[in-house]
Structure 1
Amino acid sequence: MSLVADAFVSQIAAAEAWPENAALYQPLKGEQILLSDNASSLAVQAFLKMCNLPCQVICRANAEYMSPSGKVPFIHVGNQVVSELGPVVQFIKAKGHSLSDGLDEVQKAEMKAYMELVNNMLLTAELYIQWCDEATLEEITEPRYSSPFPWPLNYILVYQKRWEIQRKMKAIGWANKSLDQVFEDVDQCCQALSQRLGAQPYFFSKQPTELDALVFGHLFTILTTQLTNDELREKVKKYKNLIDFCRRIEHNYFEDHAKDTSAGGMQRLPKGPSLH
C-alpha cells in the first residue's frame, strides 16, 4: 500500500467512531483452529480489550481465505478489514487509541525489539511444531486444519499449507533444526521475557502495551493447548512470573468471557501447583 493510500485509510479510520458490531474473525474454535492462529487471535483480542474496544469473535471455517493477507485473525470494523496484530495496532492508533503513547522513544524501540523476538521465536516455533514435526502433523494438524473441508479439497489444502510453511522454514534457516533445538529456542525466548518482566505487573510497569497483548496471546495458548507431548508447555511453566502475568491478564481482561467457549471464548488457565 502506498503512502497516499495509507494516509487515506488512516483518515477514514480516524473519522469513524468504533462501531458496536465490530467483529474479529478466526477459524472454528473447537475443531479447526491451530496453536499459532489461536495465539495470534488471542493477542488481537487482548489488545482490543486493553484498549476498551468491544469486538465480537466470529468463527468461520474459511476465515483464512476471507482475510486480505491470507492470515488470521482479521477484524471487520465499519467498511475496513484489517488482519494481524501489527496492522490492527496501527489502525486502532489512527482512531486515537494507543497503549504505548506513554513510552519514550527508547522504550518504544525496546518494545518493538521484544515483539520481534516473540514473532521470530514463539510464532515460528509454533508453526514448526504444527507443520514440521511428523507426530504433531499427523495427530493434530492435518485432522484439525482439514476438518471443515471435503475430500479431496482437504488433502490439497493441507499439502499446500505444509509446503508453504516448510518453504518458510528453509528461508529462515529452521528446516534442519531438531525438535529439541526448537524447544531450546522457546526456552531462551521465555528466559528473556521473564528477565524483562521481572516483578512488574506488565512489561513496562503498571500499564499494558501491545507487547503484553502479544506475549499473553502466545504464552496463554501454549499453556492451554494439548499437543502430542508437554515439552513446549513445560518450557513456559519454568517461569513463574510469566504464569502470573498470564493469570493477571486473564483476570483483568477476560474473566467475564472465559466461559464463552461456544463463541470462541478462552480456555482458562488450569489452577493448582502444576503450573509452578
Structure 2
Amino acid sequence: MSLVTDAFVSQIAAVEPWPGNAALYQPMKSEQVLLSDNASCLAVQAFLKMCNLPVQVVCRANAEYMSPSGKVPFIHVGNQVISELGPIVQFVKAKGHSLSDGLDEVQRAEMKAYMELVNNMLLTAELYIQWCDEATLEEITQPRYSYPYSWPLNYFLVFQRKWEIKRKMKAIGWATKTLEQVFEDVDQCCQALSQRLGTQSYFFNKQPTELDALVFGHLFTILTTQLTNDELQEKVKNYSNLIAFCRRIEQHYFEDHDGSISSSIKLSKGPTLP
C-alpha cells in the first residue's frame, strides 16, 4: 500500500464513530507491568475516560511486542492500532474528541511544555530507577520484566532492555546521576506542577486536558506502587494539591457506582492513595 493510499485509509477510518469494542492493551498488571509502563497505560486510560470514550482494558504478557511502536499501551479501534499517548490523542482528535479545544494558542503551547517536562523528568526518572538502581533492578524490575519468559530468553531480554535504557541515560546525560539527584529532579518537576496547578481543580480552567491525564498517570502510579524505598513517593507527597488532584481524578473517573475503585487501576502492591 502506498503512503498516499495509507493516509487516505487512515483518514477515512478516523472519522468513523468510536466503536463499542475498542480495546486498550497493556502488560499483565499483577505479575509483569513496571512503574513507567503502568504510568503510561493509566495516562491513556484517564485520557479516554475524560473524553467519555469506552475502552476495554486487555492485559497481555506480550503487549510490548504486539505494539506497533514497541511501547505500551496501544489501542485497537476498528482496523486501527495506535500506541502511546501522543498518537492516541491525535487519533481521537481526528474522530472529533479533544480535551484542549477550549485553550488558546498560548495555553496550548504551555500545556505541551508541561507535558514535555513530565516526560523528560518523571518518565525518565521512572526508567532510571527501574533499570539503573541495582536494588530496584534485582528485587522488582528483573523478576517482573522476565515473568512471562523461561530461561535463557528471560535473561537475554532483561539484559537487552537494561542495555537500551542505560544507553539512553548516557545519551541524555543521566548516566552519571546518583539516585539522590534523580529524586531531586522529581521534586523539582513536582514543584513546577504544583505551582502551575495552584488551587485549581485542573491545570487549565475547570475541565481536564491531556496534561491532566498524563500527570495523573505518573503521579498516581508513583503514589500507589511499592518500590525498594519510599523516597520517590515522599517527593510527591510533599505537595498536597497534587495529592488532592490525583484523588479527584481517581474518584471522578475511576470510581464505580458502588464507591469502589475500578480494578483497571488497582495495583498488586503498594499503599492506597493517601
| TM-score of the two chains, using structure 2 as the length reference | 0.94
Query: For structure 1, which segment, 4-13 or 115-124, has the greater mean C-alpha deviation from structure 2 after superposition?
Result: 4-13
1:269 to partner: Cα distance:
7.0
How many residue pairs are counted as aligned between the two chains? 269
Q: Are positions 1:50 and 2:79 aligned together? A: no
1:16 to partner: Cα distance:
1.3
1:85 to partner: Cα distance:
0.2
Letter in 2 for 1:201: S
CA contact (8 A) 2:13 2:79 kept: no
Instruction: Name the Cα RMSD after superposition.
Output: 1.7
Q: Are positions 1:196 and 2:190 aligned together? A: no
Give the whole-Å Cα distance in 2 for the aligned partners of 1:237 and 1:176: 27
2:272 to 267, 270, 273: 270
Partner of 1:123: 123
Give the whole-Å Cα distance in 2 for the aligned partners of 1:248 and 1:37: 22
Letter in 2 for 1:115: M
SS class of match (2:256): helix
CA contact (8 A) 1:247 1:269 kept: no
Distance 1:199 1:259, change over 3 A: closer
CA contact (8 A) 1:46 1:253 kept: yes
Partner of 2:234: 234
Q: Are positions 1:103 and 2:103 aligned together? A: yes
SS class of match (1:256): coil
Question: Residues 94-136 of structure 1: CA distance to partner in whole angstroms, max 9, x if unpaired?
Answer: 0000000000000000000000000000000000000000000
Is there any run of 5+ residues in structure 1 with no aligned partner, and where?
none
Distance 1:247 1:119, change over 3 A: same
Letter in 1 for 2:152: P
Question: Residues 36-76 of structure 1: CA distance to partner in whole angstroms, max 9, x if unpaired?
Answer: 00000000000000000000000000000000000000000
Q: Percent identity?
A: 82
Give the whole-Å Cα distance in 2 for the aligned partners of 1:27 and 1:4: 33
SS class of match (2:96): coil
Partner of 1:17: 17
Distance 1:110 1:3, change over 3 A: farther
Partner of 1:214: 214
| TM-score of the two chains, using structure 1 as the length reference | 0.93
Give the whole-Å Cα distance in 2 for the aligned partners of 1:158 and 1:270: 29
Distance 1:163 1:197, change over 3 A: same
Give the whole-Å Cα distance in 1 for the aligned partners of 2:204 and 2:112: 12
Distance 1:18 1:239, change over 3 A: same
1:6 to partner: Cα distance:
7.8
Alignment of 1:1-276 (within 5 A): 4=4, 7-8=7-8, 10-256=10-256, 259-261=261-263, 264-267=264-267, 270=272, 275=274
1:12 to partner: Cα distance:
2.3
SS class of match (1:32): coil
Question: Residues 148-192 of structure 1: CA distance to partner in whole angstroms, max 9, x if unpaired?
Answer: 111111101101100110010001000000000000000000000
Letter in 1 for 2:49: K
Distance 1:130 1:6, change over 3 A: farther
Distance 1:237 1:20, change over 3 A: same
Question: Residues 200-229 of structure 1: CA distance to partner in whole angstroms, max 9, x if unpaired?
Answer: 000002000000000000000000000000
Give the whole-Å Cα distance in 1 for the aligned partners of 2:230 and 2:87: 33
Where do 4+ consecutive residues of structure 1 move more than 2 Å?
A: 2-10, 12-15, 257-261, 264-271
Give the whole-Å Cα distance in 1 for the aligned partners of 2:230 and 2:54: 34
Distance 1:40 1:196, change over 3 A: same
